[in-house]
Structure 1
Amino acid sequence: MSLSESCYLPPLSPEYYPLYLAGVLGLGIAAQWLAWRLHLPSILLLLAFGFAAQLAGDPDDIIGKDLLFPIVSLSVAVILFEGGMSLKFSELREAGGVVLRLVTVGAAICWGLAGLAAYFIMGFPIELAALIGAILVVTGPTVIAPLLNYIRPARKVGSIAKWEGIVIDPIGAVLAVLVYEAVVATGLNEAFAVALLAILKTLVVGLVLGAFSAATLILLLRRFLIPDFLHNASILAAILVVFAVSNAIQPESGLLTVTVLGILLANQKRITVRHIFEFKENLRVLLISCLFVVLAARTSPAEIAKVGWQGLLFLLLLIVIVRPASVLLSTIGSGLNWRQKTFLCFMAPRGIVAAAVSSVFAFEIVEEYVHRGADPTTIAQAELLAPLALLVIVGTVTFYGLTAAPIARMLGLASPNPQGLLIAGADRWVRELGKVIHDAGFQVLLVDTNYRNISAAKMAGLPAHCASILSDYVTEEINIGGIGRLLALTANDEVNALACQEFIHLFGRKEVYQLAAWDSGSGRRASVSDHLRGRVLFSEGVDFYVVARRFAAGAQIKKTSLTAEFTYADFLKRYGDSALVMFIIDEGKKLEVRTAESTATPKPGQSLISLVDPVKPAPEETQSEDVAPEDETETESQSPSSS
């Protein structure tokens, strides 16, 4: 029995196929959840769970290669469309030049160096070396998106990595097609003509069909010719149809078509596509979970072992030499600093597209060599294309998955658990609260439409922007790197609720907070329905006006350290039951937002940020780090902030 065969149990009976398919989905979602709980890149656990799934059987036997690769291609089309929808033209103002360099000069350098490595290390003929080099130019959103979601890098370098990872996918796939067409062509002149024609057809088909599809969908949605309940289904069907049609006209042009379609839909202003993006985002998580489990399940150790030590050396050169060279050489004079360039050097995992393209071309080129009557050595080398690509995929996903996040944190370009606060509202007590949090060492950013409030915040040394918290300006123009939570502290309950809904997709439901509603009613007189609200801050019944009245009456926002000598009980004894604990800073310097559901009792070693009524301090309590109240000469805004 071969090593490949020993990896699997006896073949499953057809009646167990539904159980296998459901198990793939279950393993994928379980891997995503476990990665979230353990703070690990999800793609690492997806691969691990996929290797474990080998024990249940070979996906090729259950799904069949003839069906598996079309399913993978259509899934990649959906993922690439969703990636295109995440690309904003506004990001190109600071990242466009670098992205262009990376996907042109950088891609050419990667292709050339990877091809040379395959030629000298793997001993491939020049045409096979050029083909594997072209295939491995591709990274793609199937691996880049999960890594960026995990790392959460600074805005500029994150935008560059996102744009490169998505745009390089169709470019790399088209490049691989061109090289393949040149390999099977006879003669240099014919190869050049075939390549040039393929480039023109790909560009025309991808750009024209993508733009036409986007315009058609916008027209149909704008005129309400598609009912709401069919929006997501119609967009999904359109993606798959235009992808298949595009590929039928020109092989591998479908990736460019759906990318263009996604980018155009995301950047137009005529219709809202947020609900479509959210649906595709959820679908992307589902597809990536299944695809990586299936990919790993069909990758047997024996298949990877065919490439031998030369394959490992080839992988090492890709990581140590090829990627750094392509980044450093293509970004000369780009304005990127050494930290940003270093991070980009650690962001080149290969994904599903490389696996699919290598498998298809390996099969076709072996048939071409057999038809030509090539020698057995050349045919055997062509059969190594797919195993070598699989080794690179597994190796790069593992390496970059383990190193990219620590490197980003070490370079100061990412925070694994951003503690910063985006605060909607900048009234007097909100500014004082922000000042205390800022002085405690945490990042804050105030947003308000009241210019006087923003001016006062800036005079106090607080970062602030005069804008509506509900505008696209906040998410598209303001750098919110290092910020991981929203506090909606305006006097308008409806604006607070809308702000929470707006930022759920960015921070998650756990990290969007708002003040209690002023009416605290229910039914027809409730200001906002419960399902629209964020998490209630501080305590039930503590609305904007409660805090504002107490603050106007002389209450102060203070930071107080708890020790073994001055405990929480002592704190309550000093300030009374009216003391409102707003935040707790734990021993690890992490900021905990207190909500109406918080029940934990503060402990010695922690610090409290709280609203307390003024009392005469006792001599023995001078250990507390109380913050002085705001300058009494500053006047409070007379009109409630609405943003």
Structure 2
Amino acid sequence: MSETVLLQLSGILVLGVVAQWLAWMLRIPSIVFLLLIGVVAGPITGFLKPDELFGALLLPFVSLCVGVILYEGGMNLRLSELRNLGGVFTRLILLGSLISWAFTAAAAHYLLGLSWAVSLLMGAILIVTGPTVIGPILRNVRIRGPAASLLKWEGIVIDPLGAILAVLVFTGVGAANLNEGVAEVARDFAYLIGSGLIFGVAAAFALIYALKTYRVPDYLHNPFSLMLMAASFTGSTFVQHESGLLAVTIMGMIIANQRRVPIKHILEFKEAITVLLISTLFILLAARLTMDDLRALGWRDFLFVLSLLALGRPLSVLLSTFGKSLKWNERIFLMAMAPRGIVAAAVTSVFAITMVDAGYAEANHMISATFLLVFVSVLVYGIASRPLANRLHLSGENPQGVIFVGAHEWGREIAQALAKAGIAVLLIDRNRVNASAARMMGLTVQIGDALDEHLIEELNISPYARLIALTPNDELNSLICLRFTEEFGRNEVYQLPFSLDRGAKAGVSLDHRGRFFPSDRHTYSVLDALFEQGYRVKVNKITEQFDLRKLVASYEGEVVPLFVLKAVGTLEVFTADARPVVEPGDRVLSLVPGGATDGQKPENAPSN
């Protein structure tokens, strides 16, 4: 018996991580694989039996895990992202939710044949979108601006509101008469909002105070944060059912927007936990389905799903954003993006059982219909999001651009060579002389500090796939790379190697710096000396007869390969830890000997 339990528990973890890895490899939303694995492991093969495995702990475990996911989501919300968008967001959340609720309830009643009581409850639950799906889609599509901010905020804020609305509907449905129903709904609404606010604010300020006054050691920051989140969620839920989701979202938002204590290490920890929890929850909830649930799905269910995607979402966005400042391409993208995720699946599973116990036998059908909606919406939006964003000019089709930090003379020359080769480049520098010189060369420049959060939020990074820090300050280069790891990943942030006279830094872990470009010995001073000697950047095409080795041998002096422009249009970077494979048809950008074009070195103002 114990071996069977261990096998199932290990199987959930192994299958969940494998699904996440496959999704990353194939660039498909992980929920697609997680749901398929859950269905195969549960109703089809019988390998996984969640109700037997967890017993009465299953649904409380699911609820607490959803709380952790929304807490992590709240910690990603920055109020600055809604600058000039507050009115649009408010209408999208309030008016858009009401329209979506009404449409979904009507579709559930007339298409699925559910009673009005069950249909209204289902409509309330399905107003939610999925932050666990929206986030990966936005990272994959790489859009910025109002559409991305609105989708991100809607995906997180709407989840606790959907749960609150579901509670209010359930209360109203169970009331004996209209007057009693209105009174009970008003009372529950007050308890929901009040308990969510009180517990969320209290937990957030308790965490901020504890960290600010150093009353908690560093190694306990993450456990302490998780403990307060669980206490806030549970305490609020005890006061009023489902209010815990609001409490943890508020807690996360307060922590994200304060400036008293750093939270990056806590956020990274929560992100790692969230990946495991999402994997576990989707497999568990999908495995709870039965073969009867799957057989009950028919053409009406698919029509129900299609109506929500093709009519319900576009209608709610169109009406709630009418007359606002959104551009039409942004509005259309919002209309075509409303995937459902773990919150919809989890809340439906909880309320279906409650409704069945209350005498609504058809409420069980909510579970299978909701899982179908989750699967289809994730699949459709996950596949269609990038082509749609490209078509609407919200994202580049295959971004290969480079952000350079440091617009000094030879930084400008390297950037210009890439720009002439057809690669998008952006230079960031605080020095206005350098920035002006770059603009005179026709290059795109942003004046400012690369570590300034406001500058980063305003940047449109969709055309860019990597960053290279070229400043003479080794520590600054490392900090810049660490900051932009969130945008591009560790494999696509680069910096110049540490100065040769600072050998103690040679052993600095890659966790605390970028990859060394273009090798481990071409420091800022070395490259600066080469340019002083008249070296220049040149592009050479590789053929069968003229490979990289012959390219290097064709010059008298050192040749420093910098980039490879592959024949298929991608860009690869030469680094200390990886030398790209160069094939016939590729173009190599190298630093080669051969005098400055004008015979003298241009003015080079200090950078950063």
TM-score range, shorter chain: over 0.9
> Structure 1 residues 481, 632: closer, same or farther in 2, change over 3 A?
farther
Structure 2 residue matching 1:91: 3-state secondary structure: helix
Q: Match for residue 432 of structure 1?
A: 413
Q: Match for residue 500 of structure 1?
A: 481
Moved more, 598-607 or 134-143: 598-607
- Is 2:71 the partner of 1:81? yes
Aligned mates of 2:362, 2:506 — CA distance in 1: 71
Q: Counterparts of 1:220-259 in structure 2 under 5 Å?
A: 220-259=210-249
- Is 2:257 the partner of 1:277? no
Q: Which residue among 587, 592, 610 is the counterpart of 2:590?
A: 610
Q: Match for residue 469 of structure 1?
A: 450
Shift of 1:597: 3.0
- Is 2:349 the partner of 1:359? yes
CA contact (8 A) 1:140 1:165 kept: yes
Q: Match for residue 346 of structure 1?
A: 336
> Structure 1 residues 629, 63: closer, same or farther in 2, change over 3 A?
farther
CA contact (8 A) 2:50 2:287 kept: no
Instruction: Give the TM-score of the pair, scaled to structure 1.
Output: 0.89
Aligned mates of 1:601, 1:389 — CA distance in 2: 47
Aligned mates of 1:397, 1:455 — CA distance in 2: 46
Q: Match for residue 420 of structure 1?
A: 401
Q: Counterparts of 1:53-452 in structure 2 under 5 Å?
A: 53-54=41-42, 55-369=45-359, 379-415=360-396, 418-452=399-433
Q: Match for residue 15 of structure 2?
A: 27
> Structure 1 residues 564, 96: closer, same or farther in 2, change over 3 A?
farther
Q: Deviation string for 1:604-635 (max 9, x for gaps)? A: 211121111117xxxxxxxxxxxx95895841
> Structure 1 residues 393, 569: closer, same or farther in 2, change over 3 A?
closer
Aligned mates of 2:479, 2:363 — CA distance in 1: 57
Which 5+ residue runs of structure 2 have no aligned equivalent? none
Shift of 1:102: 1.7
Moved over 6 A (4+): none
- Is 2:529 the partner of 1:549? yes
Q: Match for residue 572 of structure 1?
A: 552
Structure 2 residue matching 1:383: 3-state secondary structure: helix
CA contact (8 A) 2:195 2:243 kept: yes
- Is 2:52 the partner of 1:51? no
Moved more, 193-202 or 29-38: 193-202
1:590 maps to a residue whose letter is: T
2:278 maps to a residue whose letter is: I
Q: Deviation string for 1:279-302 (max 9, x for gaps)? A: 111111111111122222222343
> Structure 1 residues 467, 303: closer, same or farther in 2, change over 3 A?
same
| Equivalences, count | 606
Q: Match for residue 29 of structure 2?
A: 41
Aligned mates of 1:450, 1:43 — CA distance in 2: 46
> Structure 1 residues 161, 531: closer, same or farther in 2, change over 3 A?
closer
> Structure 1 residues 301, 459: closer, same or farther in 2, change over 3 A?
farther
Shift of 1:228: 0.7
CA contact (8 A) 2:482 2:512 kept: yes
2:10 maps to a residue whose letter is: A
Structure 1 residue matching 2:358: 3-state secondary structure: helix
> Structure 1 residues 559, 97: closer, same or farther in 2, change over 3 A?
farther
2:7 maps to a residue whose letter is: L
CA contact (8 A) 1:432 1:630 kept: no
RMSD over equivalenced CA pairs, Å = 2.3
1:494 maps to a residue whose letter is: E
> Structure 1 residues 473, 419: closer, same or farther in 2, change over 3 A?
same
> Structure 1 residues 367, 423: closer, same or farther in 2, change over 3 A?
same
Q: Which residue among 539, 546, 564 is the counterpart of 2:519?
A: 539
2:189 maps to a residue whose letter is: I
Q: Match for residue 622 of structure 1?
A: none
Aligned mates of 2:209, 2:182 — CA distance in 1: 40
Aligned mates of 2:176, 2:494 — CA distance in 1: 66
2:603 maps to a residue whose letter is: T
Moved more, 360-369 or 20-29: 360-369
Aligned mates of 2:498, 2:288 — CA distance in 1: 54
> Structure 1 residues 446, 226: closer, same or farther in 2, change over 3 A?
same
Shift of 1:20: 1.0
Which 5+ residue runs of structure 1 have no aligned equivalent? 1-12, 370-378, 616-627
Aligned mates of 1:314, 1:601 — CA distance in 2: 51
1:163 maps to a residue whose letter is: W
CA contact (8 A) 1:94 1:156 kept: no
1:468 maps to a residue whose letter is: D
2:355 maps to a residue whose letter is: I
CA contact (8 A) 1:426 1:457 kept: yes
Aligned mates of 2:264, 2:434 — CA distance in 1: 31
Q: Match for residue 498 of structure 2?
A: 517
Aligned mates of 1:520, 1:604 — CA distance in 2: 39
Q: Give percent identity, aligned residues only.
A: 42
> Structure 1 residues 178, 203: closer, same or farther in 2, change over 3 A?
same
Q: Match for residue 582 of structure 1?
A: 562
2:12 maps to a residue whose letter is: V
Aligned mates of 2:259, 2:160 — CA distance in 1: 26
Shift of 1:563: 4.0
Moved more, 628-637 or 227-236: 628-637
